Amino acid sequence: MSRLVRHRVGNVEIEGFSLAGEETVVIARELNVAFDPGRAPRELISIDNVCITHGHMDHAAGVAYYFSQRNFVDLAPGRVIVHRDLAQPIQRLMAVWSDIEGHPSPGQVHGVMPLEDVELRRGMLVRPFTVNHDRCSLGYSVIEKRHKLKAELVGKSGPELVALKRQGVQIEEWQEVCLLTCTGDTAVGRWMELDFVQRSEVLIVECTFIDEDHMDRARGGRHIHVRDLPRILEAVPNARVMLIHLSRRTELRRAKGVVERFVGKAEMERVCFLMDRPPRPRAQPAREVPASAATSEPIV
């Protein structure tokens, strides 16, 4: 059975696994993008773009295996998007694996700096941004670019618009729709002020600590504590919010209760936890056989 948990959050289906210190991998299959390879579970291998949020082993350990498995099943080389300062170390890691295995595993390591957009496909890009964790940490937003009629031309008739176009007037403009943002590991910080993050339809954000006496650990390791959540929800008023990266020692049911206490019942409507595995559909109860039918057929 897969370790990954699947949810529909707003308009996006998310599958993944995330426990602090153990593994974090988040996949948006319809967008063909993942955030962190984790230990490179089977479900990740067919995804063409993997954005690495930072170099901690529980997030990035699977990078070599991801490239190698794609090669093994004859998929085109995958692409890993990562902070520019981590691109070379990952390439060196791949070279060492090539020595160990005796053959290379092709893959593209795309180093980026904050706010350097990378095209995922025509009309869709991923935008890295600085978060507040370690030196090379990045969050990522997936942004769709849509054509729309300029605001001042709304209401004009079709023939009028055609005439304007013939005169060389630009009648359309690009509109950016931020479909999804994943912060990776981070504490609260300036990233919460970025307009595309604030407009994001879905925010996947960590919440590592929920215990009252773990505030120092949260601040020391630059992670989010449950006390920070109201501020984060305020920054993204319209987003569905998915929480990831709970500490391994935290029981999910208790975490839900504590989060609700801090954010309030109404806000919980738009908050979910990646690791909240939906209950399995119950087996259909066996149909009762009427007594007469049960006795009318001979038992063979």
223 touches Zn ion by CB under 5 A: no
Counting Cα atoms < 13 Å in the Cβ hemisphere of 121 gives 6
**Whole-number Å distance between alpha carbons of 137 and 206:** 13
For Zn ion, how many residues bind (rule: CB under 5 A)?
Answer: 2
Choose between 57 and 76: whose C-beta lies nearer to Zn ion.
57
Is 211 buried (19+), middle (13-18) or exposed (0-12) by CB count in 10 A?
Answer: middle
56 touches Zn ion by CB under 5 A: yes
The residue type of 110 is H
* Cβ(141)–Cβ(129) below 8 Å: yes
Tell the smallest beta-carbon distance from residue 216 to Zn ion (Å). Answer: 17
185 touches Zn ion by CB under 5 A: yes
The residue type of 271 is V
39 touches Zn ion by CB under 5 A: no
**Radius of gyration in angstroms for the set of CA atoms belonging to the chain, rounded to a whole number:** 24
Site stretch for Zn ion (CB under 5 A), options 6-14, 53-61, 79-87, 106-114: 53-61
Choose between 86 and 179: whose C-beta lies nearer to Zn ion.
86
Choose between 50 and 178: whose C-beta lies nearer to Zn ion.
50
240 touches Zn ion by CB under 5 A: no
User: Taking CB under 5 A as the rule, which mask of x and - marks residues 136-175 in contact with Zn ion?
Assistant: ----------------------------------------
Copy the structure tokens of residue 291: 């007594």
**Whole-number Å distance between alpha carbons of 94 and 112:** 18
43 touches Zn ion by CB under 5 A: no
The residue type of 280 is R
83 touches Zn ion by CB under 5 A: no
Tell the smallest beta-carbon distance from residue 134 to Zn ion (Å). Answer: 6
Tell the smallest beta-carbon distance from residue 251 to Zn ion (Å). Answer: 19
295: part of which helix (H) or strand (E)?
Answer: helix 291-296
The residue type of 152 is E
* CB contact burial 48-75 (16+ within 10 A = b; e otherwise): bbbbbbbbbebbbbbbbbbbbbbbeeee
Tell the smallest beta-carbon distance from residue 183 to Zn ion (Å). Answer: 11
What backbone torsions phi and psi does residue 174 show, to the nearest 5 degrees?
-85, 140
Sign of the Cα torsion 219, 198, 30, 125 reads negative
Choose between 56 and 127: whose C-beta lies nearer to Zn ion.
56
Tell the smallest beta-carbon distance from residue 20 to Zn ion (Å). Answer: 5
DSSP state at residue 220: H
Tell the smallest beta-carbon distance from residue 36 to Zn ion (Å). Answer: 9
Choose between 179 and 207: whose C-beta lies nearer to Zn ion.
207
In terms of Cα–Cα distance, which of 133, 141, 87 is closest to 117?
A: 141
Tell the smallest beta-carbon distance from residue 186 to Zn ion (Å). Answer: 9
Tell the smallest beta-carbon distance from residue 55 to Zn ion (Å). Answer: 8
Site stretch for Zn ion (CB under 5 A), options 54-62, 71-79, 109-117, 174-182: 54-62
Interacting residues toward Zn ion by CB under 5 A: 56, 185
